[in-house]
Amino acid sequence: MTADDRDAFAAAYVLGLLDPRDMQEAERLLAEDPAYAAHVADWRERLSELDRTAPSLPLPQGLWTRIEAGLDAPATAQPAAGIRTETVRAEAAWPERKAQPEPALSRLWRSLGFWRGIGLAASAAAVLLSVALSVAAVQLGRKPAMIAVLLTDSREPAAVVHTFRDGRAELVPLAPIDVPAGRALEIWTLWDRARGPVSIGLIDEARTVRLNLDELPRTDEGQLFEITLEPSTGSPTGRPTGPILMKGTASAPL
């Protein structure tokens, strides 16, 4: 497990997004691997502020009764014999697949519970989104150098800007955006107030698009990105003229 893998796995453990099998592996690493334990401690410290902002809520009435009833319930029936037979045959046909268990991070990446957990934590959307993007980037082998989460006026994450060390950059929308006829979404960045905002992209609908940062300085901490609503051909002045739909500043991925 690389350092990035270990960090992503620690983040998922602290957020409570692991399935039981991966949770056992995380507990083992926590006891045996000092580097992993340091990652866990670091994530707990990062997220402690969120814990303090979350309100205490009473448990739903009857919850413990339902849990106790479930513990006393008989085990579910075993699969039908035919299904089990086919499973055995499949394992025999591909023994090498059985001999190599799927990596924990691959299971995490495909886990519906992982993404559902992130969706439920709406009060910490921007932070958890950054965690998810970091895990995704590790899986894809192309971790961004900088990430900017663009928020609406209501503080909802609406898009993400990734910039990479080789100079590439991309915008990834997180939600549909209503674009009236004859209008377009223009993407801007600002790193020098003396120069002012610079247009780096123009799209007619919310979609993933590569941004034009080739002639600009390397993206740095605190650099502003925003999207405005402009005429279909772009701003007539070379500066934002329409309403700002969302904005955010760049920071290193967690």
Question: What per-residue confidence (pLDDT) applies to 226?
Answer: 96
| Interatomic CA distance for residues 108 and 172, integer angstroms | 21
Question: What per-residue confidence (pLDDT) applies to 3?
Answer: 75
CB 229 within 8 A of CB 125: no
Domain final residue, candidates 141, 171, 191: 141
Beta strand pairing call for 146-151 and 244-251: antiparallel
181 with 235, same domain: the answer is yes
Token pair of 111, please?
Answer: 């886990």
Give the helix/strand (H/E) hosting 229: strand 224-231
4 with 130, same domain: the answer is yes
Question: What per-residue confidence (pLDDT) applies to 202?
Answer: 94
What is the extent of the structural domain holding 154?
A: 144-251
Domain final residue, candidates 96, 120, 141: 141
190 with 114, same domain: the answer is no
| Interatomic CA distance for residues 110 and 104, integer angstroms | 10
Token pair of 56, please?
Answer: 């205490």
pTM of the model: 0.49
Per-residue pLDDT of the chain (254 residues; tens, 9 = 90+): 677 777 888 888 877 777 788 888 888 888 888 888 888 888 887 766 555 545 556 666 776 677 767 666 565 545 444 444 444 444 444 444 444 555 555 555 555 455 445 444 444 445 555 555 555 544 444 678 888 989 998 888 888 999 988 888 999 888 888 899 999 999 999 998 888 999 999 999 988 899 988 788 888 889 999 999 999 999 999 999 999 999 999 988 76
92 with 170, same domain: the answer is no
Question: What per-residue confidence (pLDDT) applies to 193?
Answer: 87
Those residues whose C-beta lies under 8 Å from the C-beta of residue 177, and which sit 6 or more positions away, are 158, 185, 205, 206, 245
Helix, strand or coil, per DSSP, at residue 233 = coil
171 with 245, same domain: the answer is yes
